[in-house]
Amino acid sequence: MTTPAPTRGRALRARSGRPPWILLVPALLGVAFLVLPLLGLLVSTPWATMGARITDPAVLSALWLSLSTATAATAVCLVLGVPLAWLLARADFPGRRLVRALVTVPLVIPPVVGGVALLLVLGRNGLLGRHLDAWFGLTLPFTTAAVVIAQVFVAMPFLVVSVEGALRGVDARFEEAAATLGANRTTVFARVTLPMVLPGVGAGAALCWARALGEFGATITFAGNFPGTTQTMPLAVYMAMQRDPEAAVVLSLVLLIVSLAVLAGLRGRWT
């Protein structure tokens, strides 16, 4: 990191002063709290067998399934969640507060309960699922699609809340300016509002993707656990934990490194 004008940078820093300890101490404690478990994971990692384990086809298959389903889930969340966020931020309709509260329900309920709820609705005998089965011969549970659905369910609130916040921060006068230039509401949204909230959408999508990647409870309940089809990395970690805790540590670490790499890579682009 080279600054073109280091002297000036230093001068600025001097003026802003040191962060007050009342903020610094809790902040450092917070970092420690988040980083120490990670450190524990690193310390107990059997590095010697690491190479062999991560090239295990079963691990690679679970990793690929995790990355692809989390990405698909994020795409679905974007398609459904951004318009929903717009509705919550911009449209005035009765029951908006209620809808906003409902959006956060998946954050509150335990994912396993979410999985059961999904089974009750989309399962073979579920409210909608039984019709899907009868009319289209379509059964969702135990399919990769079910993994994506479970992830969408738990991850969508992260996107909606982020994007709604970003939309609320947008100066509505820009939208008015676009309207005076002849833009209808769709054009205003697509060409003015959306580009303005893109950083918020990006942050929401990153959170959403990370949550989808780590999703366990709803997935194992709704989609089951079968290598290659529905066994994502978190499920593989859990299963490994039953018999071979060392393997579980390695798998966790792989998941962690890959997700950090992806998120760090994306972050760089947005800022």
Partner 1 sequence: MPESPRHPRAALRWTAPLMAGALALTSCSAADDAGRDGAGTASETGPAGTLTVLAAASLTDVFTELAEEFEADNPGVEVELSFAGSSALATQINSGAPADVFASANTDTMALVVDGAGLDTAWAADHGEDGGVFATNTLRIAVPADNPAGVEDLADLSDDSVATALSAPEVPCGAATAAVTDTADVEIAAVTLEQDVRAVLTKVELGEVDAGLVYATDVAAAGDAVEGIDFPESGSAVNEYPVGVLAGAPEPELAAAWVDLVLSDTGADALTAAGFGTP
Partner 2 sequence: MTTNDGRRAPAPRPGADVPALDARLRLARGDFTLDVTLEVAEGEVLALLGPNGAGKSSALRALAGLVPLTDGHVRVGGRDETTTPVERRPVGVVFQDYLLFRHMSALDNVAFGPRCQGLSKAVARARAAELLEGMDLSAQARSRPGRLSGGQAQRVALARALAVRPRLLLLDEPMAALDASTRVDVRARLRHLLEDFDGAAVLVTHDPLDAMVLADRVAVVESGRIVQQGTPAEVARRPRTPYVARLVGLNLFRGTAEGTEVTVDRRDARAPWVVHVHEPHEGEVLVAFPPRAVALYADRPHGSPRNLWRLTVDGVERFGDQVRVHLVGPMPLSADISPAALAELGLVPGAPVWAAVKAAEAECYPG
Residues that bind partner 1 (CB under 8 A): 116, 119-120, 123-125, 141-142, 220-221, 223-227, 230-231, 235, 238-240, 242-243
CB of 138 to partner 1, least distance (A): 14
The interface partner of residue 73, options being partner 2, partner 1, none and the CB cut-off 5 to 8 Å by kind, is none
Minimal distance, residue 207 CB to partner 2, in Å: 22
138 vs 170, beta carbon nearer partner 2: 170
Three-state secondary structure string covering the chain: CCCCCHHHHHHHHHHHCCCCHHHHHHHHHHHHHHHHHHHHHHHCCCHHHHHHHHCCHHHHHHHHHHHHHHHHHHHHHHHHHHHHHHHHHHCCCCCHHHHHHHHCHHHHCCHHHHHHHHHHHHCCCCCCHHHHHHHHCCCCCCCHHHHHHHHHHHHHHHHHHHHHHHHHHCCHHHHHHHHHCCCCHHHHHHHHHHHHHHHHHHHHHHHHHHHHHHCCHHHHHHCCCCCCCCCCHHHHHHHHHHHCHHHHHHHHHHHHHHHHHHHHHHHHHHC
| One residue of 71, 187, 225, 229 binding partner 2 per CB under 8 A | 187
179 touches partner 2 (CB under 8 A): yes
Closest CA to 208 of 162, 167, 254: 162
As measured in angstroms, the least distance from the Cβ of 45 to partner 1 is: 20
Closest to partner 1 by CB, 83 or 245? 245
> What single-letter amino acid sits at 63?
L
Least distance (Å) from partner 2 to the CB of residue 170?
11
Residue 178 contact, options partner 2, partner 1, none, Cβ 5-8 Å cut-off depending on partner type: partner 2
Q: Does 174 bind partner 2 (CB under 8 A)?
A: yes
Residue 160 binds: one of partner 2, partner 1, none (C-beta under 5 to 8 A by kind): none
Among 38, 37, 104, 59, which residue's Cα sits nearest to residue 234?
59
**Residue 79: how many other CB atoms lie within 10 Å:** 10
**Does residue 181 belong to the site contacting partner 2 (CB under 8 A)?**
yes
Which of 50, 121, 196, 263 is in the footprint of partner 2 by CB under 8 A? 196
165/227 with CB nearer partner 1:
227
Task: Tell me whether residue 105 or residue 172 sits nearer to partner 2 (CB atom).
Answer: 172
Q: Which does 174 bind (CB under 5 to 8 A by kind): partner 1, partner 2, none?
A: partner 2
Binding site for partner 2 (CB under 8 A): 171, 173-174, 176-184, 187, 191-192, 195-196, 198
